[in-house]
Structure 1
Amino acid sequence: SADHGPGQGSLVALKCMKRANEAERVNFQTEALLLKALRHPNVVACYGCVQLSIAQRLSMMGGQQQDDDLSDLMFMQEYCAGGTLLDKVNRPRSYTAMDSLQWLGDITRGMAYLHSQPEMRITHRDLKLENILLNDKGVAKVADFGLSRLIVGDGRSLDSRE
Protein backbone atom coordinates (compact mmCIF):
# COMPACT_ATOMS: atom_id res chain seq x y z
CA SER A 1 0.00 0.00 0.00
CA ALA A 2 1.07 3.62 -0.26
CA ASP A 3 0.58 6.61 2.01
CA HIS A 4 1.97 10.13 2.27
CA GLY A 5 5.08 10.47 4.41
CA PRO A 6 4.57 12.45 7.62
CA GLY A 7 5.14 16.15 6.99
CA GLN A 8 6.95 15.60 3.70
CA GLY A 9 4.04 15.55 1.28
CA SER A 10 5.68 12.84 -0.79
CA LEU A 11 4.14 9.50 -1.59
CA VAL A 12 5.87 6.50 0.03
CA ALA A 13 5.39 2.75 -0.16
CA LEU A 14 4.71 0.83 3.04
CA LYS A 15 5.71 -2.80 3.09
CA CYS A 16 4.05 -4.75 5.91
CA MET A 17 6.09 -7.34 7.74
CA LYS A 18 4.49 -10.72 8.43
CA ARG A 19 4.05 -11.67 12.08
CA ALA A 20 7.46 -12.49 13.51
CA ASN A 21 9.30 -13.44 16.66
CA GLU A 22 11.41 -10.88 18.51
CA ALA A 23 14.67 -11.83 16.75
CA GLU A 24 13.03 -11.40 13.33
CA ARG A 25 11.58 -8.05 14.40
CA VAL A 26 14.99 -6.80 15.55
CA ASN A 27 16.55 -8.02 12.28
CA PHE A 28 13.85 -6.22 10.26
CA GLN A 29 14.45 -2.97 12.15
CA THR A 30 18.24 -3.29 11.88
CA GLU A 31 18.02 -3.90 8.13
CA ALA A 32 15.83 -0.81 7.75
CA LEU A 33 18.34 1.33 9.67
CA LEU A 34 21.27 0.08 7.60
CA LEU A 35 19.48 0.52 4.28
CA LYS A 36 18.34 4.00 5.30
CA ALA A 37 21.94 5.19 4.88
CA LEU A 38 22.04 4.17 1.19
CA ARG A 39 21.47 6.93 -1.36
CA HIS A 40 21.70 6.21 -5.08
CA PRO A 41 19.38 7.05 -7.99
CA ASN A 42 19.18 3.35 -8.96
CA VAL A 43 18.47 1.93 -5.50
CA VAL A 44 15.01 2.34 -3.95
CA ALA A 45 15.36 4.79 -1.07
CA CYS A 46 14.56 3.41 2.37
CA TYR A 47 13.13 5.87 4.88
CA GLY A 48 13.13 3.50 7.85
CA CYS A 49 10.86 1.27 9.83
CA VAL A 50 7.65 2.40 11.50
CA GLN A 51 5.55 0.70 14.14
CA LEU A 52 1.84 1.41 14.04
CA SER A 53 -0.84 0.97 16.67
CA ILE A 54 -3.97 -1.03 15.84
CA ALA A 55 -5.94 2.23 15.51
CA GLN A 56 -3.39 3.66 13.08
CA ARG A 57 -3.43 0.48 10.98
CA LEU A 58 -7.23 0.44 10.85
CA SER A 59 -7.28 4.11 9.90
CA MET A 60 -4.82 3.46 7.08
CA MET A 61 -6.91 0.55 5.81
CA GLY A 62 -10.07 2.68 5.73
CA GLY A 63 -11.42 1.02 8.87
CA GLN A 64 -11.36 -2.46 7.31
CA GLN A 65 -10.02 -5.46 9.20
CA GLN A 66 -6.59 -6.40 7.94
CA ASP A 67 -4.73 -9.67 7.54
CA ASP A 68 -4.06 -11.25 10.96
CA ASP A 69 -0.70 -12.49 9.69
CA LEU A 70 0.64 -8.94 9.42
CA SER A 71 2.87 -7.41 12.06
CA ASP A 72 2.62 -3.86 13.38
CA LEU A 73 5.98 -3.15 11.72
CA MET A 74 6.15 -1.50 8.32
CA PHE A 75 9.11 -0.71 6.12
CA MET A 76 8.79 2.75 4.57
CA GLN A 77 10.44 3.20 1.18
CA GLU A 78 10.37 5.26 -1.98
CA TYR A 79 7.19 4.83 -4.02
CA CYS A 80 7.84 3.77 -7.62
CA ALA A 81 4.78 4.55 -9.73
CA GLY A 82 6.00 2.55 -12.74
CA GLY A 83 5.58 -0.81 -10.99
CA THR A 84 7.94 -3.73 -11.43
CA LEU A 85 10.14 -4.44 -14.40
CA LEU A 86 8.37 -7.82 -14.66
CA ASP A 87 5.03 -6.04 -15.16
CA LYS A 88 6.60 -3.86 -17.84
CA VAL A 89 8.22 -6.64 -19.87
CA ASN A 90 5.02 -8.70 -19.72
CA ARG A 91 3.26 -5.93 -21.68
CA PRO A 92 4.42 -6.33 -25.28
CA ARG A 93 5.15 -3.13 -27.17
CA SER A 94 5.14 -1.06 -23.97
CA TYR A 95 8.88 -0.44 -24.18
CA THR A 96 11.67 -0.10 -26.73
CA ALA A 97 15.12 -1.64 -27.15
CA MET A 98 16.52 1.68 -25.91
CA ASP A 99 14.39 1.37 -22.75
CA SER A 100 15.87 -2.09 -22.16
CA LEU A 101 19.41 -0.77 -22.52
CA GLN A 102 18.63 2.10 -20.14
CA TRP A 103 17.25 -0.33 -17.53
CA LEU A 104 20.33 -2.54 -17.88
CA GLY A 105 22.54 0.48 -17.21
CA ASP A 106 20.36 1.56 -14.26
CA ILE A 107 20.50 -1.90 -12.65
CA THR A 108 24.25 -2.19 -13.23
CA ARG A 109 24.88 1.21 -11.61
CA GLY A 110 22.65 0.35 -8.64
CA MET A 111 24.35 -3.00 -8.04
CA ALA A 112 27.84 -1.49 -8.43
CA TYR A 113 26.90 1.07 -5.77
CA LEU A 114 25.65 -1.64 -3.38
CA HIS A 115 28.83 -3.67 -3.82
CA SER A 116 31.17 -0.70 -3.40
CA GLN A 117 30.14 0.81 -0.07
CA PRO A 118 33.20 0.90 2.25
CA GLU A 119 31.25 0.54 5.51
CA MET A 120 28.63 -1.90 4.28
CA ARG A 121 28.71 -3.91 1.05
CA ILE A 122 25.42 -5.52 0.11
CA THR A 123 24.98 -8.72 -1.86
CA HIS A 124 21.36 -8.76 -3.05
CA ARG A 125 20.96 -12.55 -3.65
CA ASP A 126 17.47 -12.23 -5.16
CA LEU A 127 17.90 -9.99 -8.19
CA LYS A 128 14.99 -10.65 -10.55
CA LEU A 129 12.54 -8.62 -12.61
CA GLU A 130 9.96 -8.31 -9.82
CA ASN A 131 12.64 -6.84 -7.51
CA ILE A 132 13.42 -4.03 -9.94
CA LEU A 133 11.02 -1.10 -9.65
CA LEU A 134 10.45 1.72 -12.13
CA ASN A 135 9.77 5.27 -11.03
CA ASP A 136 7.40 7.62 -12.86
CA LYS A 137 10.20 8.60 -15.27
CA GLY A 138 11.03 4.96 -16.14
CA VAL A 139 14.26 4.84 -14.12
CA ALA A 140 15.01 1.30 -12.85
CA LYS A 141 15.76 0.91 -9.15
CA VAL A 142 17.01 -2.15 -7.27
CA ALA A 143 14.57 -3.08 -4.47
CA ASP A 144 13.59 -5.80 -1.99
CA PHE A 145 16.60 -6.62 0.12
CA GLY A 146 14.86 -9.42 2.07
CA LEU A 147 17.43 -12.06 1.09
CA SER A 148 20.41 -9.73 1.09
CA ARG A 149 23.70 -10.26 2.85
CA LEU A 150 25.31 -7.22 4.46
CA ILE A 151 29.09 -7.22 4.82
CA VAL A 152 30.11 -4.60 7.35
CA GLY A 153 33.41 -2.70 7.37
CA ASP A 154 35.21 -5.20 9.61
CA GLY A 155 34.38 -8.06 7.21
CA ARG A 156 31.59 -9.60 9.29
CA SER A 157 28.63 -10.88 7.32
CA LEU A 158 25.10 -10.11 8.45
CA ASP A 159 22.59 -12.32 6.67
CA SER A 160 19.08 -10.87 6.64
CA ARG A 161 17.64 -14.41 6.95
CA GLU A 162 19.85 -15.59 9.84
Structure 2
Amino acid sequence: MPTLFHPDLHKRNIFVSETDPSKITGIIDWQSASAEPAFWYADEVPDFAVPDDSENDLCAKAFDACSRFSTSKLSGPRLMDKNLFRPFLYSYRTWKDGAIALRHELVETTQGWNELGFAGSGPYILLPSPHELVKHEREYKLFVAAQELKHDLSNLLGTATDG
Protein backbone atom coordinates (compact mmCIF):
# COMPACT_ATOMS: atom_id res chain seq x y z
CA MET A 1 0.00 0.00 0.00
CA PRO A 2 1.45 3.41 -0.96
CA THR A 3 2.43 5.65 1.94
CA LEU A 4 3.26 9.36 2.06
CA PHE A 5 6.78 9.50 3.42
CA HIS A 6 9.45 12.14 4.00
CA PRO A 7 12.69 10.26 3.25
CA ASP A 8 15.04 13.03 4.43
CA LEU A 9 14.24 13.33 8.15
CA HIS A 10 17.73 14.24 9.28
CA LYS A 11 18.84 16.63 12.02
CA ARG A 12 19.37 19.50 9.63
CA ASN A 13 15.74 19.27 8.43
CA ILE A 14 13.95 19.05 11.80
CA PHE A 15 13.47 22.21 13.88
CA VAL A 16 12.67 21.99 17.58
CA SER A 17 11.53 24.47 20.20
CA GLU A 18 14.32 26.46 21.87
CA THR A 19 12.63 26.02 25.24
CA ASP A 20 11.55 22.38 24.84
CA PRO A 21 13.70 20.33 22.42
CA SER A 22 11.18 17.47 22.60
CA LYS A 23 8.69 19.62 20.61
CA ILE A 24 9.11 19.72 16.84
CA THR A 25 8.29 23.16 15.45
CA GLY A 26 8.97 22.50 11.78
CA ILE A 27 10.20 20.07 9.15
CA ILE A 28 11.77 21.27 5.91
CA ASP A 29 13.15 19.71 2.72
CA TRP A 30 9.96 18.11 1.48
CA GLN A 31 10.98 17.89 -2.19
CA SER A 32 11.72 14.15 -1.92
CA ALA A 33 8.45 13.32 -0.14
CA SER A 34 6.20 11.09 -2.19
CA ALA A 35 3.54 8.40 -2.04
CA GLU A 36 5.34 5.13 -2.77
CA PRO A 37 5.49 1.59 -1.44
CA ALA A 38 6.53 1.86 2.20
CA PHE A 39 9.18 -0.87 2.01
CA TRP A 40 11.26 1.36 -0.27
CA TYR A 41 12.19 3.39 2.79
CA ALA A 42 12.56 0.56 5.28
CA ASP A 43 16.37 0.82 5.14
CA GLU A 44 16.37 4.59 5.72
CA VAL A 45 17.52 5.62 9.18
CA PRO A 46 17.78 9.32 10.08
CA ASP A 47 21.26 10.50 11.09
CA PHE A 48 20.12 11.09 14.66
CA ALA A 49 19.29 7.37 14.96
CA VAL A 50 22.51 5.89 13.57
CA PRO A 51 24.37 4.31 16.49
CA ASP A 52 27.85 5.87 16.69
CA ASP A 53 28.12 7.17 20.24
CA SER A 54 26.22 6.82 23.52
CA GLU A 55 23.78 9.64 22.71
CA ASN A 56 22.98 8.27 19.25
CA ASP A 57 22.77 4.71 20.63
CA LEU A 58 19.87 5.83 22.81
CA CYS A 59 18.26 7.62 19.85
CA ALA A 60 18.77 4.54 17.66
CA LYS A 61 17.05 2.30 20.20
CA ALA A 62 14.18 4.78 20.60
CA PHE A 63 13.83 5.12 16.81
CA ASP A 64 13.79 1.35 16.38
CA ALA A 65 11.19 0.85 19.13
CA CYS A 66 8.96 3.65 17.83
CA SER A 67 9.27 2.33 14.27
CA ARG A 68 8.15 -1.14 15.29
CA PHE A 69 5.00 0.14 16.95
CA SER A 70 4.14 3.33 15.09
CA THR A 71 5.19 2.54 11.51
CA SER A 72 4.63 -1.16 11.07
CA LYS A 73 4.72 -0.79 7.27
CA LEU A 74 8.37 0.24 7.60
CA SER A 75 9.39 -2.06 10.42
CA GLY A 76 8.04 -5.26 8.83
CA PRO A 77 10.61 -5.28 6.01
CA ARG A 78 13.39 -4.46 8.51
CA LEU A 79 12.58 -7.67 10.37
CA MET A 80 12.59 -9.96 7.35
CA ASP A 81 15.61 -11.92 6.12
CA LYS A 82 18.10 -9.41 4.68
CA ASN A 83 18.84 -11.76 1.77
CA LEU A 84 15.22 -11.46 0.65
CA PHE A 85 14.95 -7.76 1.28
CA ARG A 86 18.17 -6.49 -0.34
CA PRO A 87 17.12 -6.87 -4.01
CA PHE A 88 14.18 -4.58 -3.28
CA LEU A 89 16.50 -1.94 -1.86
CA TYR A 90 18.24 -1.48 -5.19
CA SER A 91 15.40 -2.24 -7.62
CA TYR A 92 13.84 1.21 -7.31
CA ARG A 93 17.06 3.23 -7.06
CA THR A 94 19.27 1.98 -9.87
CA TRP A 95 19.34 5.61 -11.08
CA LYS A 96 21.22 6.43 -7.89
CA ASP A 97 23.26 3.29 -7.14
CA GLY A 98 23.56 1.84 -10.64
CA ALA A 99 22.60 -1.56 -12.00
CA ILE A 100 25.67 -3.27 -10.51
CA ALA A 101 24.23 -3.31 -6.97
CA LEU A 102 20.91 -4.69 -8.18
CA ARG A 103 22.63 -7.36 -10.29
CA HIS A 104 24.79 -8.33 -7.30
CA GLU A 105 21.75 -8.77 -5.07
CA LEU A 106 19.93 -10.81 -7.72
CA VAL A 107 22.95 -13.11 -8.11
CA GLU A 108 23.31 -13.49 -4.32
CA THR A 109 19.59 -14.17 -3.88
CA THR A 110 19.57 -16.71 -6.71
CA GLN A 111 22.61 -18.51 -5.29
CA GLY A 112 20.93 -18.79 -1.88
CA TRP A 113 17.41 -19.45 -3.18
CA ASN A 114 17.05 -22.94 -1.70
CA GLU A 115 18.56 -21.85 1.65
CA LEU A 116 15.88 -19.16 1.81
CA GLY A 117 13.28 -21.94 1.69
CA PHE A 118 12.09 -21.55 -1.90
CA ALA A 119 11.75 -24.20 -4.57
CA GLY A 120 12.64 -23.79 -8.22
CA SER A 121 14.93 -21.17 -9.68
CA GLY A 122 15.60 -17.74 -8.20
CA PRO A 123 15.28 -14.29 -9.78
CA TYR A 124 17.88 -15.19 -12.41
CA ILE A 125 16.63 -18.07 -14.54
CA LEU A 126 20.22 -18.71 -15.63
CA LEU A 127 23.08 -17.44 -13.52
CA PRO A 128 25.82 -15.57 -15.37
CA SER A 129 28.73 -17.69 -16.58
CA PRO A 130 31.82 -18.04 -14.33
CA HIS A 131 33.65 -15.52 -16.56
CA GLU A 132 30.74 -13.06 -16.27
CA LEU A 133 30.63 -13.58 -12.48
CA VAL A 134 34.34 -12.72 -12.17
CA LYS A 135 33.78 -9.56 -14.22
CA HIS A 136 30.74 -8.71 -12.10
CA GLU A 137 32.66 -9.21 -8.82
CA ARG A 138 35.34 -6.80 -10.04
CA GLU A 139 32.67 -4.21 -10.98
CA TYR A 140 30.90 -4.72 -7.65
CA LYS A 141 34.11 -4.17 -5.67
CA LEU A 142 34.60 -0.86 -7.51
CA PHE A 143 30.99 0.06 -6.75
CA VAL A 144 31.47 -0.67 -3.02
CA ALA A 145 34.72 1.31 -2.94
CA ALA A 146 33.01 4.29 -4.63
CA GLN A 147 30.13 4.13 -2.12
CA GLU A 148 32.54 4.01 0.82
CA LEU A 149 34.50 6.96 -0.57
CA LYS A 150 31.29 8.95 -1.05
CA HIS A 151 30.16 8.25 2.53
CA ASP A 152 33.62 8.99 3.97
CA LEU A 153 33.79 12.32 2.14
CA SER A 154 30.25 13.12 3.23
CA ASN A 155 31.15 12.48 6.86
CA LEU A 156 34.37 14.50 6.64
CA LEU A 157 32.61 17.45 5.05
CA GLY A 158 29.51 17.18 7.25
CA THR A 159 27.13 17.04 4.29
CA ALA A 160 24.60 14.62 2.87
CA THR A 161 25.93 12.15 0.30
CA ASP A 162 23.92 13.88 -2.42
CA GLY A 163 25.63 17.24 -1.93
TM-score (norm 2): 0.29
Greater per-residue strand proportion: 1
Q: TM-score, normalization: structure 1? A: 0.29
Name whichever structure is richer in helix by fraction.
2
Q: Which has the larger radius of gyration?
A: 2
Q: Which has the higher contact order (CA 8 A, sep 6+)?
A: 1
